[in-house]
Each structure stands twice: as structure tokens, then as C-alpha cells.
């Protein structure tokens, strides 16, 4: 890294917390109500990453608001049952914070749902800056949410790395001018993410500490 990285931006779902089962179940529940027996598990994997509006508009433009409402109702009511953090996440985030790194969440979820996930996994204590879908006009891969997070942290793109499980995270980071790291535990698979040429691939979140040369104490 030519410029010293002092800022780490994290996607939330599928990156810090394992919401894969929750998201897949929420899509299958919603789509199954409108199109019984049409969608299987593998059919909804491409919907992980884009916003709900983008996904449901592509399926049924007439029913977007109703489908989003149904998805969110199921998602919230099953949240605490199905969500957990990925291994080494808590320790890594805590170490970064204690080491003086500026950290933020940049997600395509709405803010109240992000807060729910952060509180459940006790990660909320580490993040002062959270950029949600309802804070921006344009979601990732547009650079807007990443630039907004950097502005709030007082950081420059060349001092930052965007960490995520999806093409939207990698492309968003590239568009904003940050370094990028993909996570190997992405629901879409490590090979899929490598196709978007992130600067790094993390096999566990703790790999980030090695990349940034953080003293693990």
C-alpha cells in the first residue's frame, strides 16, 4: 500500500454479519407469495447486493412497494433467530478501533435494520458512522455512500479500504477511489468476487489485520 490506510469501510450483510439465511428466506417467502413454487434458493442468490427496489422492480414493477413491505416484515420478525456474526469479525473490528483506525458501515440496508444487526452482534459499540440506504440518493456501486462515509470520518479515498462480500462493494470502492477487499465467505463464492478484481481477498476477517500490519497485541 503506497498510502497508509487509516480508514476501513465495511459492508454489513454477508460481510460482518451472517444474514445470508435471513435474506434468502425473506426473498423465498416474498416471491413464494406472489409466484408459488417458481423461485428456488439458487434463483435468489443474484438478488443479494442490489437494493430491494432494484430487485423487485425487475420482477414486478407494479407490486414493488407491496413486495418490499412483505420482505421487510418477514426479515424483521425472523432477524434475531437467523442472524449471527462471522468468525473473527468481533475481534478484528475491536482491534481496529482500539488501534485508532477510523471505521464505518456502508450498507444498502435501511438504517433501522442495520442498527438491529449491529446491536444483536454487539458491534454497535464500535461504529460511530453508519451510512444506510436511506441516507443517500444512490446506492453502491455508485460512490456516493462511500464518499459520504469518508467525509464524515474526515478521510480521503486513498487512505481507505472498502470491505465487502459483493460486486457492489468492490465496484463501489473502485468508483470512489479506495482500496478494496472481498471476503471469501461471500454467498456468491470467492471466484465470483475475484472476477471484480479486488485488491485483496480475505479468507477470514482477521486477515485484514495482517494486510494493514496492525499490531494484534
Mean pLDDT of 158-168: 96
Helix (H) / strand (E) containing 17: strand 17-18
Tell me: the pLDDT tens digits for 170-195?
999 999 999 999 999 998 889 999 99
State the pLDDT at residue 91.
97
Task: Identify the residue whose cell numbers are 480521503.
Answer: 156
Cell of 46: 443474484
Per the DSSP assignment, residues forming a β-bridge with 179 are: 161
Residue 195 is classified by DSSP as T
State how far the alpha carbon of 197 is from the alpha carbons of 157, 170, 190, 204, in Å: 18, 8, 11, 18
The angle at the Cα of 201, spanning 199 to 203, to the nearest 5 degrees, equals: 160
20-82 under CATH 1.10.150, yes or no: yes
Tell me: the pLDDT tens digits for 105-153?
999 999 999 999 999 999 999 999 999 999 999 999 999 999 999 999 9
Distance from CA of residue 49 to its chain's centroid?
Answer: 8
CATH of 7-18+84-211, picked from 3.50.50.60, 3.40.50.1000, 3.40.50.2300, 1.10.1750.10, is 3.40.50.1000
- Residue 40 CB neighbours (<10 A): 10
Query: What Rg do the C-alpha atoms of the chain give, in angstroms?
Result: 17
- Residue 128 CB neighbours (<10 A): 11
Report yes or no: 20 and 45 within 8 Å, Cβ to Cβ. Answer: no
Q: Where are the beta strands (DSSP E) in 87-214?
A: 102-106, 129-131, 160-164, 179-183, 200-202
Active site residue 66: no
Cis status, amide bond into 159, omega within 30 of 0: no
State the pLDDT at residue 217.
60
State the pLDDT at residue 49.
83
Tell me: the pLDDT tens digits for 20-37?
999 999 999 999 999 999
Domain chopping of the chain, boundaries: 7-18+84-211, 20-82
Tell me: the pLDDT tens digits for 82-108?
999 999 999 999 999 999 999 999 999
Whether residue 2 is predicted with pLDDT greater than 90 in this model: the reply is no
For the entire predicted model, the pTM comes to 0.91
Tell me: the pLDDT tens digits for 35-74?
999 999 999 999 998 899 999 999 999 999 999 999 999 9
Report yes or no: 30 and 44 within 8 Å, Cβ to Cβ. Answer: no
Amino acid at each position: 500500500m503506497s498510502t497508509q490506510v487509516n480508514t476501513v469501510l465495511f459492508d454489513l450483510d454477508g460481510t460482518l454479519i451472517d444474514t445470508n439465511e435471513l435474506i434468502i428466506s425473506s426473498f423465498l417467502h416474498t416471491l413464494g407469495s406472489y409466484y408459488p413454487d417458481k423461485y428456488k434458493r439458487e434463483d435468489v442468490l443474484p438478488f443479494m447486493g442490489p437494493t430491494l427496489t432494484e430487485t423487485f422492480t425487475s420482477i414486478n414493477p407494479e407490486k414493488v412497494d407491496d413486495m418490499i413491505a412483505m420482505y421487510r416484515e418477514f426479515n424483521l420478525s425472523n432477524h434475531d433467530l437467523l442472524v449471527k456474526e462471522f468468525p473473527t469479525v468481533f475481534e478484528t473490528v475491536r482491534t481496529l478501533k482500539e488501534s485508532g483506525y477510523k471505521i464505518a458501515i456502508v450498507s444498502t440496508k435501511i438504517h433501522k435494520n442495520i442498527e438491529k444487526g449491529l446491536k444483536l452482534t454487539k458491534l454497535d459499540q464500535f461504529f460511530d458512522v453508519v451510512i444506510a440506504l436511506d441516507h443517500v440518493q444512490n446506492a453502491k456501486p455508485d460512490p456516493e455512500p462511500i464518499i459520504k462515509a469518508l467525509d464524515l470520518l474526515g478521510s480521503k479515498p486513498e487512505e481507505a479500504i472498502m470491505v465487502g462480500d459483493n460486486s457492489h462493494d468492490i465496484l463501489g470502492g473502485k468508483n470512489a477511489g479506495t482500496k478494496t477487499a472481498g471476503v471469501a465467505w461471500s454467498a456468491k463464492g470467492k471466484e465470483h468476487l475475484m472476477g471484480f478484481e479486488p485488491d485483496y481477498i480475505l479468507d477470514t476477517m482477521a486477515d485484514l489485520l495482517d494486510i494493514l500490519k496492525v499490531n494484534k497485541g
